[in-house]
Structure 1
């Protein structure tokens, strides 16, 4: 499995791999809703942005992450970020995460469009498993992940410690290559409704 670091797009979004020219737009997108970062493992807004950006670029150089700016095509605005990360070619698996959207970009076609592109890119590269994890207290995120078609696999107790010091349980979801065609078709039907 080799997942290429390339832009991905459909009629709703263009996912652009991080590079220096995107930094200001990404920072502006992440600085809009500081309260939303309370349940995140690591913050990326305000004074935290520089360290987060540097870590994302370092992971990209190491080949363990592809971080993307999410550009909404209807107006050209960068409305958030998402990543393929924990990329493990030996096990042909990765995760989708580090996802954050501006409030006005939530609840419409942006998230399903991004997930459709990321899942397709991973499976076309030979992945057999793509995980999506979230904080076990984040019911809204869990509902969105299930709506994508990922299967719930359980909760990892005391799995991570958030930047606020809270010990976090993590809800684990996954899409396998066996699931992909059904998940893909469901996402395509869902996105067609936004036409």
Structure 2
């Protein structure tokens, strides 16, 4: 199946119905900037070697620069009475139709929801959609300091293929290493039931808990 991504992203609902993924719009710049003002986001090596923006104007400019032209989803938490609130982003940073390769990234989630399996649930939805579009290989590069993301991807079944050492340099001159991880379309049918089961704490027979 050839990779065929639409020009306009769809709106997707996660498995439990707790969250919705919708195309990122200019209206999401301000709430994303507020999230990026949180110290916790930057403690994991976020930003690809750029200096941390200071103040509302710099944060908004950072979002405009780093998200422009990319296919990114906004993540909304569904609330009572039909309301919702912005809780982060995730999306596509690169893709190649010939090799059926998709690189995912730009994942930023509200630190108040860390540990609540939000990233896990959102990623299942993103992977389902990408594989349905014909992705054969989904990959991501993760700063070697970001142990939270590395552990999460390992639980999903992503394979760490190696470390790209001295990959980019921080503004203070320190070089950064990135771990390269991938998941193949042939692997997802076996891994998906385990990923779904972990959302409810139930494990199908013969599968290990994530």
Give me the TM-score of the superposition, normalised by structure 1. Answer: 0.85
Q: Is residue 6–residue 16 contact of structure 1 (8 Å, CA) maintained in 2?
A: yes
Larger Rg: 2
Q: CA RMSD in A?
A: 2.2
Which blocks of at least 5 consecutive residues in structure 1 are unaligned? 60-64
| More displaced 10-residue stretch of structure 1: 82-91 or 35-44 | 35-44
Q: Deviations over 1:86-135 (max 9, x none)?
A: 12222211122111111111111210111101111111000100012211
Distance 1:29 1:36, change over 3 A: closer
In structure 2, the residue matched to 1:27 is 33
Which blocks of at least 5 consecutive residues in structure 2 are unaligned? 203-210
Q: Is residue 168–residue 175 contact of structure 2 (8 Å, CA) maintained in 1?
A: yes
Distance 1:68 1:49, change over 3 A: farther
Would you say 1:8 and 2:12 are equivalent positions? yes
Distance 1:51 1:164, change over 3 A: farther
What is the number of residues matched between the two proteins? 188
- Indicate which of 46, 53, 65 corresponds to 2:63: 53
Distance 1:170 1:82, change over 3 A: same
| More displaced 10-residue stretch of structure 1: 128-137 or 65-74 | 65-74
| Counterpart secondary structure, 2:35 | helix
Give me the TM-score of the superposition, normalised by structure 2. Answer: 0.79
Q: Deviations over 1:143-194 (max 9, x none)?
A: 1111122111111111223455432110111110111112221211112339
